Structure 1
């Protein structure tokens, strides 16, 4: 028998639901559309839909693209009783470029070292080592990034998990919080340029890397 190296999570405490709801309300208040995600129970996610086979993170609502909202009353209702994960819908106010930690660390280091205020924006990090740079919406990936197996652009039809949502590996956190970035989003071309410049020091994967459920579809 192989023992899991991850500490199992028990039933979420009421404090978890309040923390998740508070975060969802904060995002919505700044115009970032949110949708409730499946709850983490043990090592799998449960959306409450009978017979749902998805064990990884995914939206709790089947019609999440149509019902994602910034309305405070709606967000309060979604998190009134259940500790849903907080999912940010991409392709509206922002896109997200998801990269491995090796690339994300180099890009963020370049932003800070070179004091690139024009490239500074919110950056979310999962415990599995995926970095998500939030940028203005609508721009496709450069060819140097698009062909890589470990780089994904989240646009229309996609979402990303947001802090303080939890995954089996641990919580999602902000490497650069929206408050630190003053809720501003950099131009995607600038961030993609920094990513392309950093590629020379990052080995390209030979196999497809595991990704969250939202990456099953690239943003259009």
Structure 2
């Protein structure tokens, strides 16, 4: 995916992804967006190969997952606590719990690009959107989306499990830029957090375009 749809013009509130210290970026997410933040696993070099700090050779998300079972209660919006987290593990990934200040609609990158272009033409108000090295796009929406999406998709004529559109809500998380995911590269912003998109859309405003794009990809 190339062009302005993926990397829009404009000055972001959140610092540039490359060269920015993870700690400082995490603090800005908390201070500027009021997002809760959690430090996660990170990548370590072992015999010239980067592996996840969890030590699992078959880790499904190297350097990008929680490190403890009680991670939900460890996530915080306190800049002081966030600095302490990264003082202990400076290379930790940045994780943002969903179901609190936002949920996330998760779709394949190809469908996300199609839907994003369509919504831009229609001047739909969008929140932040991330792109992952695994070719997924996540659209930030108001909390509660995870409970709504199955019925919204069904009302559009799609059995919920027939298209690759899911919602991440309470008890889940997203990995935030500029975290690197294994050897595949960093999480990036397709739509950066700015003052203009501080107010998030409801899932209902985006589901139609996203479901259409996912359905078209399925066909």
Query: Would you say same fold, with TM above 0.5?
Result: yes
Alignment of 1:92 onto 2:100: yes
Q: Which runs of 5+ in 1 are unaligned?
A: 1-15, 205-220
* Residue of structure 2 equivalent to 1:207: none
Task: Tell me the equivalent position of 1:22.
Answer: 24
Alignment deviations for residues 69-127 of structure 1 (CA, whole Å, 9 cap, x no partner): 0011110100114210000100011100111011100111012122223xx11000011
CA distance, structure 1, for counterparts of residue 137 and residue 177 of structure 2: 13
| Distance apart, 1:128 and its partner CA | 1.6
Structure 1 residue 122 corresponds to structure 2 residue 128? yes
Which residue in the other structure is 2:78 paired with? Answer: 71
Distance 2:75 2:161 in 1: 30
* 1:37 and 2:44 correspond: no
- SS of residue in 1 equivalent to 2:94: strand
For residues 89 and 137 of structure 1, the distance between their equivalents in structure 2, rounded to whole angstroms, comes to 11
Check 1:173–1:18 CA distance in 2 against 1; reply closer, same or farther (3 A cut). Answer: closer
SS in 2 for 1:166: coil
Please give the secondary structure, in 1, of the residue aligned with 2:197.
coil
Instruction: Please state which structure has a larger fraction of its residues in helix.
Output: 2
Q: CA deviation at 1:166?
A: 0.2
Superposed CA RMSD: 2.3
Asked if the contact 1:20/1:84 (under 8 Å) is kept, the reply is: yes
Q: Considering Cα pairs closer than 8 Å and 6+ residues apart, tell me whether 1 or 2 has the greater RCO.
A: 2
Is 1:145–1:151's contact at 8 Å kept on the other side of the alignment? no
TM-score, structure 2 as length reference: 0.76
**Deviates further, 37-46 or 152-161:** 37-46
Q: How many angstroms does 1:58 deviate by?
A: 1.3
Aligned residues of 2:108 and 2:214 also touching (Cα < 8 A): no
Structure 2, unaligned stretches of length 5 or more?
A: 1-17
Residue aligned with 2:138, SS = strand
> Structure 1 residue runs of 4+, over 6 Å off?
none
TM-score, normalised via structure 1 length = 0.76
Asked if 2 retains the 8 angstrom alpha-carbon contact of 1:95 and 1:153, the reply is yes
Aligned residues: 185
TM-superposed deviation, 1:146: 2.8
Task: Give, in whole Å, the separation in 2 of the partners of 1:200 and 1:99.
Answer: 11
2:218 aligned partner = 203
| 1:62 corresponds to which of 53, 56, 69 | 69
